Amino acid sequence: MKKRNLWAALLLLLVLPMTIACSSKDDESNDSPFNINDAIGTWMCIQSTDTYQGYSQTGLLVGAEITINNNGTYTSTSSNFGYNGTYTTNGNKITAKSVSGSTFVVTVSISGSKMIWKGTASNGVNFDYVFQKET
Show me where the domains of the chain are located: 40-133
Q: Inform me whether the pLDDT recorded for 13 exceeds 70.
A: no
Residue pLDDT, tens place only, 48-64:
999 999 999 999 999 99
CATH of domain 40-133: 2.40.128.10
Higher-confidence position of 79 and 43: 43
Looking at the predicted structure, is the pLDDT value of residue 99 above 60?
yes
Contact status, residue 69 vs residue 79, Cβ threshold 8 Å = no
Average pLDDT, the chain: 81
| Burial class of residue 68 in the structure, from the number of CB atoms within 10 Å of its CB (0-12 exposed, 13-18 middle, 19+ buried) | buried
Tens-digit pLDDT profile for residues 17-30: 333 333 333 333 34
Mean pLDDT of 93-108: 95
The secondary element (H helix, E strand) that includes residue 50 is strand 41-52
pLDDT class of 33 with cuts at 50, 70, 90: low
